[in-house]
C-alpha cells in the first residue's frame, strides 16, 4: 500500500500542465504517494452541472490532504469561486503564504523571509452579497435607513462579518506556527481605526490571544493595513509572521509575492484542524493555457509545504534545494525568470537535480 494517498485537483487554465510538472518533481524525491485525481473548475461545468462536484470534497475528506492547480472564477457570472467554496466547505480556516527570497530570482529585494497567515472563512469573502436593486438590497437599505444610516438606493452591498471565534482561531494558529517554526514575532494587521466593530474586534481579540502566548517568547505588535503595505515595501526586514483578516491577507500576500519576484514563485496552503489543501497563490493565467510556458515553481513549492505537512521533511528539503539550484543556475527556467524553458522542461530539470543529489 502506498504510504500517502493525496487528492490531486489539476484545476483549469494553466492548472493541468502545472499539476503535471509538480508530479514530475515530487515523484523524483521517491516519496511513496498515490495520487487521486479529481476534476473541478469551469471546464467541468457541462459534465457535472457544478464547478465543484461532490467527488472532490469526498476525496479530500477521505485523504485529508490535497494539492491543487488554480481554478478560474469567471467575473460577473453566477458562480462563486471554487477556491473560496473549498476553503469554506472543508473549514480550511488558515491560509499560509510564505514569501522568501530564492537566490537567482530577479527582485528589488534580498533576504526576504515573511509568513502571511490569512483568515480564510469570513470577512468580505463570506459571500453575503446583495445585488443592486434586489429585494434583499432594498430591504437592507430600508432597515439601515430606519437606524439612521443612509445608503444610496442604487447600491450593491457586501457584508463583512468578523467573529471572535474565527479571529481567536487564526491568531492562535499564527502564534503556534511562529513557535513551531522558530519565528520571533507576530504582527496583526487591520484597519481598526475606521472599522471599529470588525477590524476593531480583530485587533482586540489578537491582543487577548497575544496575552495567552505572553510566555512563549514571541513578540506581538499590530499595524494598520495601509501603513503595513508601505512598511513592507520600505523595510520588509522588520517583519516576520503577519496575521490578517481575509481580504487584507489576500492583497498583502500578492504584495509580498511581488517583493520576492512575483506570483510564479509564491506557494500557499489552506489548513484546517483535519484537512489541508496546498495551492499556488497565483490564478489560472488563462492567457497562457496549453502553451507549456508558465512557471511551475509556485505549485512545486506548495508541494514542499505539503511534504512537510505529511512529515516527509527530507523529501521536502531535497525538493526545495533542487528548485533553488535550478533557479540559481538559470538556464532551465521559464520566461518570467528570464529563461526560455517551458513548464515541463523546468520540472524535469528540478527532478534531475534531485536524482543527482
Ligand atoms: P493570475 O495569477 O492567473 O495571472 C496574473 C498574471 O500573473 C498572469 O497573466 C501572468 O503574467 C502571471 N502569472 C500567474 N501565474 C504565473 C506562473 N505560474 N508563471 C508565470 N507567470 C504567472 O491572475 P488573474 O489573471 O487575476 O486570474 C485568472 C483567474 O484565476 C481568475 O479567474 C481568478 O479568479 C483565478 N484565480 C484563482 C486562484 C486559485 O485557484 N486559488 C487564485 C487567484 C486567481
Q: Is 198 in the pocket of ligand 1 (CB under 6 A)?
A: no
Among protein residues, the one with the nearest Cα to ligand 1's atom 30 is: 283
Task: Express each pLDDT in 103-145 by its tens digit.
Answer: 888 889 999 999 999 999 999 998 899 999 999 999 999 999 9
What's the pLDDT at 356?
A: 79
What's the pLDDT at 78?
A: 59
Task: Express each pLDDT in 67-107 by its tens digit.
Answer: 999 998 876 555 678 888 899 899 999 999 999 999 888 88
User: Who's near 53: CB < 8 A, 6+ residues apart?
Assistant: 38, 39, 40, 44
User: Which ligand 1 atom lies nearest to the CA of residue 296?
Assistant: 18
State the distance from the centre of ligand 1 to the C-alpha of 136, rounded, in angstroms. 32
State the distance from the centre of ligand 1 to the C-alpha of 14, rounded, in angstroms. 9
- In the chain, where the domains are located: 1-98+263-357, 107-113+161-260, 123-159
Helix 343-356 / helix 297-309 crossing angle, nearest 10 deg: 40
State the distance from the centre of ligand 1 to the C-alpha of 298, rounded, in angstroms. 11
Q: Is 254 in the pocket of ligand 1 (CB under 6 A)?
A: no
User: What is d(CA 28, CA 30) in angstroms, rounded to the nearest whole number?
Assistant: 5
Is pLDDT at 357 greater than 80 in this prediction? no
Among protein residues, the one with the nearest Cα to ligand 1's atom 22 is: 264
The more confident residue out of 354 and 74 is 354
Task: Express each pLDDT in 294-349 by its tens digit.
Answer: 999 999 999 999 999 999 999 999 999 999 999 999 999 999 999 999 999 999 99
Active-site annotation, residues? 125, 191, 226, 250
pLDDT confidence tier of residue 178, bands split at 50, 70 and 90: very high
The best mutation among 263, 278, 323 to test binding of ligand 1, ranked by most ligand atoms within 8 Å of the C-beta, falls on: 263
CA 306 → CA 33, 287, 300, distances in Å? 12, 28, 10
Under CATH, which number does the domain 107-113+161-260 receive?
A: 3.40.50.2300
What's the pLDDT at 8?
A: 98
User: Which ligand 1 atom lies nearest to the CA of residue 282?
Assistant: 2
Is pLDDT at 43 greater than 90 in this prediction? no
Q: Is 294 in the pocket of ligand 1 (CB under 6 A)?
A: yes
Average pLDDT, the chain: 94
Task: Express each pLDDT in 260-293 by its tens digit.
Answer: 988 889 999 999 999 999 999 999 999 999 999 9
User: What is d(CA 285, CA 269) in angstroms, rounded to the nearest whole number?
Assistant: 19
Q: Is 253 in the pocket of ligand 1 (CB under 6 A)?
A: no
User: Who's near 101: CB < 8 A, 6+ residues apart?
Assistant: 107, 109, 110, 111, 112, 113, 260, 261
Interval 12-32 mean pLDDT: 97
Interval 177-185 mean pLDDT: 96
How large a percentage of the chain has pLDDT more than 70?
A: 98
What's the pLDDT at 149?
A: 95
pLDDT confidence tier of residue 2, bands split at 50, 70 and 90: confident
Largest CA distance in the chain: 72
State the distance from the centre of ligand 1 to the C-alpha of 72, rounded, in angstroms. 8
Range of weakest confidence among 72-76, 165-169, 228-232, 252-256? 72-76
Among residues 305, 298, 346, 296, the alpha carbon closest in space to that of 326 is found at 346
Q: Is 86 in the pocket of ligand 1 (CB under 6 A)?
A: no
Task: Express each pLDDT in 50-64 by its tens digit.
Answer: 889 999 999 999 999
User: What is d(CA 128, CA 125) in angstroms, rounded to the nearest whole number?
Assistant: 8
CATH topology of domain 1-98+263-357: Isopropylmalate Dehydrogenase (3.40.718)
Q: pTM here? A: 0.91
State the distance from the centre of ligand 1 to the C-alpha of 310, rounded, in angstroms. 27
What's the pLDDT at 84?
A: 85
Task: Express each pLDDT in 242-264 by its tens digit.
Answer: 999 999 999 999 999 999 988 88
Amino acid at each position: 500500500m502506498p504510504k500517502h494517498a493525496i487528492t490531486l485537483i489539476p484545476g483549469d487554465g494553466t492548472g493541468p500542465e502545472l499539476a503535471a510538472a509538480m508530479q514530475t518533481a515530487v515523484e523524483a524525491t521517491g516519496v511513496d504517494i498515490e495520487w487521486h485525481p479529481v476534476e473541478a473548475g469551469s471546464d467541468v461545468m457541462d459534465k457535472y452541472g457544478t464547478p465543484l462536484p461532490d467527488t472532490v470534497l469526498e476525496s479530500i475528506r477521505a485523504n485529508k490532504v490535497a494539492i491543487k492547480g488554480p481554478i478560474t472564477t469567471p467575473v460577473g457570472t453566477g458562480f462563486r469561486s471554487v477556491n473560496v467554496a473549498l476553503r469554506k466547505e472543508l473549514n480550511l480556516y488558515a491560509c499560509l503564504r510564505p514569501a522568501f527570497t530564492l537566490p537567482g530570482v530577479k527582485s528589488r529585494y534580498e533576504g526576504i523571509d515573511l509568513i502571511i497567515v490569512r483568515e480564510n472563512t469570513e470577512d468580505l469573502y463570506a459571500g453575503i452579497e446583495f445585488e443592486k436593486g434586489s429585494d434583499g438590497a432594498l430591504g437592507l437599505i430600508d432597515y439601515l435607513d430606519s437606524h439612521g444610516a443612509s445608503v444610496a438606493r442604487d447600491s450593491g452591498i457586501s457584508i463583512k462579518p468578523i467573529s471572535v471565534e474565527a479571529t481567536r482561531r487564526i491568531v492562535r494558529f499564527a502564534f503556534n506556527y511562529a513557535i513551531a517554526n522558530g519565528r520571533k514575532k507576530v504582527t496583526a494587521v487591520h484597519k481598526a481605526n475606521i472599522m471599529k466593530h470588525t477590524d476593531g474586534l480583530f485587533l482586540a481579540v489578537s491582543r487577548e490571544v497575544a496575552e495567552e502566548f505572553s510566555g512563549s517568547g514571541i513578540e506581538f505588535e499590530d499595524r494598520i493595513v495601509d501603513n503595513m503595505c508601505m512598511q513592507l515595501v520600505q523595510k520588509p526586514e522588520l517583519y516576520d509572521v503577519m496575521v490578517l483578516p481575509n481580504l487584507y491577507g489576500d492583497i498583502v500576500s500578492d504584495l509580498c509575492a511581488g517583493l520576492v519576484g512575483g506570483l510564479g514563485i509564491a506557494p500557499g496552503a489552506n489548513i484546517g484542524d483535519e484537512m489541508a489543501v496546498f495551492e499556488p497563490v497565483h490564478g489560472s493565467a488563462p492567457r497562457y493555457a496549453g502553451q507549456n510556458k508558465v512557471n511551475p515553481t509556485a505549485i512545486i513549492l506548495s508541494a514542499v509545504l505539503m511534504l512537510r505537512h505529511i512529515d516527509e521533511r527530507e523529501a521536502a528539503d531535497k525538493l526545495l534545494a533542487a528548485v533553488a539550484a535550478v533557479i540559481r543556475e538559470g538556464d532551465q527556467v521559464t520566461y518570467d525568470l528570464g529563461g526560455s524553458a517551458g513548464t515541463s522542461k523546468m520540472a524535469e530539470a528540478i527532478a534531475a537535480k534531485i536524482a543527482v543529489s
